[in-house]
């Protein structure tokens, strides 16, 4: 339930900051808490018995975590330069979708709703978010990530997925 409250508070503060056209410290604090929550989701996803299910949850959580990891410094820098409205407007849609995914992941980890139905939506949304974040330079592409993974580890992961 804690995750759900973080994301609801974050969404309210994001909207308030956009309306006021100022990046508040409260917004940055919420973003940090949300980032920490996504890390917890990553850890929780690794406990799932179904490897494919676990991988999908981990991937969505990690995408959101990396987006926040890269957005927070951009917002801090914009705040220090008094470029509040511009930075907020550029990141608003990405942050909104990230928050929505946080709420959906909270539902899964809190045992609310249909896990399979929720995961299908999460997967679609996270792939779209990944593409948009790549275009804006907030995260590296999946291809780049895959190529950075050592060849032996890639083989091991593929073997586990094939045998699952």
pLDDT of 87 reads 86
pLDDT in tens, 100-117: 999 999 988 887 766 777
* Average of per-residue pLDDT across 16-28: 93
Domain that holds residue 107: 2-163
pLDDT of 72 reads 96
pLDDT at 1 over 70: no
pLDDT at 99 over 90: yes
- Mean pLDDT score across all residues of the chain: 87
- Cα 88 from chain centroid? 17
Kindly tell me the number of DSSP H helices and DSSP E strands found in the chain. Answer: 7, 0
pLDDT of 27 reads 96
Distance (Å) of CA 35 to CA 19, 63, 145, 159: 23, 11, 20, 31
Is the CA virtual torsion 132, 135, 141, 143 positive or negative?
Answer: positive
pLDDT in tens, 106-161: 988 887 766 777 788 898 999 999 999 999 888 988 777 777 777 777 677 777 77
pLDDT of 113 reads 64
Greater pLDDT, 12 or 145: 12
pLDDT of 130 reads 92
pLDDT of 102 reads 94
The structure tokens listed for 25 are 């410290």
Residue 140 is given by DSSP the state -
For the chain, what is the domain count?
1
* Average of per-residue pLDDT across 49-62: 88
């Amino acid at each position: 339930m804690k995750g759900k409250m973080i994301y609801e508070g974050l969404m309210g503060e994001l909207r308030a900051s956009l309306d006021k056209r100022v990046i508040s410290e409260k917004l940055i604090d919420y973003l940090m808490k949300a980032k920490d929550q996504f890390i917890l989701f990553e850890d929780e996803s690794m406990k799932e018995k179904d490897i494919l299910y676990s991988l999908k949850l981990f991937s969505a959580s990690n995408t959101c975590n990396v987006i926040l990891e890269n957005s927070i410094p951009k917002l801090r820098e914009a705040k220090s330069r008094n470029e509040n409205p511009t930075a907020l407007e550029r990141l608003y849609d990405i942050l909104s979708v990230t928050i929505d995914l946080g709420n959906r992941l909270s539902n899964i980890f809190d045992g609310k709703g249909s896990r399979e139905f929720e995961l299908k939506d999460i997967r679609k949304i996270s792939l779209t978010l990944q593409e948009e974040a790549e275009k804006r330079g907030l995260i590296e592409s999946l291809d780049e990530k895959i190529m950075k993974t050592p060849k032996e580890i890639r083989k091991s992961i593929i073997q586990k997925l094939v045998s699952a």
